[in-house]
Amino acid sequence: MAKRSVAVVRRSPSRVVYRNSRKRKRKPTIPLSIVGGFMPYLVYNLQNFKYLGFQQMIERSTLPFVPYNPHHGFVQTDKLMFGLYPVAAGIAIHFAARWLGVNRALSRMGVPLVRI
């Protein structure tokens, strides 16, 4: 692997600042595991809109992330499998892929815009 050329700038005898001579712009990427975690939430809201209407969809849209139901006054954890659990799993997969170096390998292979 080739080394990057580095410019050294001295400001004072005790302080040395290293700067890269080539400046790269970071391109935006889309983490697929996190986006995939939101798919069950999207399907849940589309089904609520299709069968119950817009008003009920808005009222039920927070249930997959916040288990407290203000209309009934108690906690419902059965809806978390459509929102919080898949998103948390997607975030965990994203951090594991970053830790294993999968995203860096994808970028070195030249895959544009997509990361895990």
Calculate the average pLDDT of the chain.
85
Could you tell me if residue 17 is inside a domain?
no
Q: What is residue 113's predicted lDDT score, i.e. its pLDDT?
A: 86
Residue 33 has pLDDT above 70, yes or no: yes
Could you tell me if residue 50 is inside a domain?
yes
Could you tell me if residue 1 is inside a domain?
no
Could you tell me if residue 101 is inside a domain?
yes
Q: Where in the sequence is the domain holding 45, given as residue range(s)?
A: 27-115
Alpha carbon distances (Å) from 25 to 17, 28, 87, 103: 20, 10, 29, 17
Could you tell me if residue 19 is inside a domain?
no
Q: What is residue 7's predicted lDDT score, i.e. its pLDDT?
A: 58
Q: What is the pTM of this model?
A: 0.72
What is the mean pLDDT of the segment spanning 2-22?
A: 59
Contact 9, 17 (CB under 8 A): yes
What is the mean pLDDT of the segment spanning 94-100?
A: 94
Smallest CA-to-CA distance from 87 within 44, 27, 26, 23 is with 44
Domain count, the chain: 1
